[in-house]
């Protein structure tokens, strides 16, 4: 249980990454870069913690979309243009989640993925990949 007691900064990174990936504002990149620069922790450990926290936040946002979608999409009348956009998002939705790391846009993509109930496993894989690559790039630039 050393991780819990002695490494509160790692929990801080996890929470910061989680909150940054929900509809709440946050910025875990600065904390990650600082921790990499300090060199006290393994870069792989930092990458894992930040990616898991940020992915969990995206999953929370996605689940919020699922909860909102209950009855919403079935009751709503969409224009032809909106129907076309929904069709494209359904067709390309999961790969677009590679961009889930983007500020604001990423949150909307995750929420929309939940609203449209995209396949959860595929969505999760693209979210993990996008967020992991972003944090990896930060580590490379900070180290």
Position 23 scores a pLDDT of 65
Q: How many independent structural domains does the chain possess?
A: 1
Position 42 scores a pLDDT of 95
Report residue 75's pLDDT band, with 50, 70 and 90 as the boundaries: low
Position 69 scores a pLDDT of 81
Position 111 scores a pLDDT of 84
Position 22 scores a pLDDT of 78
Domain that holds residue 40: 2-142
Report residue 14's pLDDT band, with 50, 70 and 90 as the boundaries: very high
% residues pLDDT > 70 (the chain): 83
Question: 64: closest CA among 122, 111, 127?
Answer: 111
Q: What are phi and psi of 116, to 5 degrees?
A: -90, -5
Pull the structure tokens for residue 63.
């689940």
Question: For residue range 23-59, what is the model confidence (pLDDT) as tens digits?
Answer: 676 789 999 999 999 999 999 999 999 999 999 999 9
Compare 3 and 76 and report the one with higher pLDDT. Answer: 76
Position 1 scores a pLDDT of 41
CA distance 63 to 110: 9
Work out the mean pLDDT of the chain and round it to a whole number.
85
Residue 23: enclosing H or E segment and its boundaries? none
Lowest mean pLDDT, pick from 11-15, 70-74, 105-109, 131-135: 70-74
Please tell me whether the overall predicted TM-score, pTM, comes out greater than 0.85 for this model.
no
Q: Is the distance from CB of 52 to CB of 140 less than 8 angstroms?
A: no
């Amino acid at each position: 249980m050393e991780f819990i007691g002695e490494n509160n900064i790692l929990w801080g990174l996890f929470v910061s990454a989680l909150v940054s990936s929900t509809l709440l504002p946050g910025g875990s990149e600065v904390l990650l870069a600082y921790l990499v620069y300090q060199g006290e922790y393994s870069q792989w450990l930092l990458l894992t913690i930040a990616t898991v926290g940020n992915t969990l936040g995206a999953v929370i946002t996605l689940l919020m979309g699922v909860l909102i979608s209950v009855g919403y999409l079935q009751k709503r009348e969409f224009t032809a243009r909106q129907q076309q956009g929904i069709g494209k998002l359904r067709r390309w939705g999961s790969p677009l989640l590679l961009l889930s790391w983007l500020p604001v846009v990423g949150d909307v993509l995750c929420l929309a993925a939940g609203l449209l109930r995209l396949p959860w496993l595929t969505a999760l894989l693209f979210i993990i990949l996008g967020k992991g690559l972003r944090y990896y790039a930060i580590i490379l630039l900070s180290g």
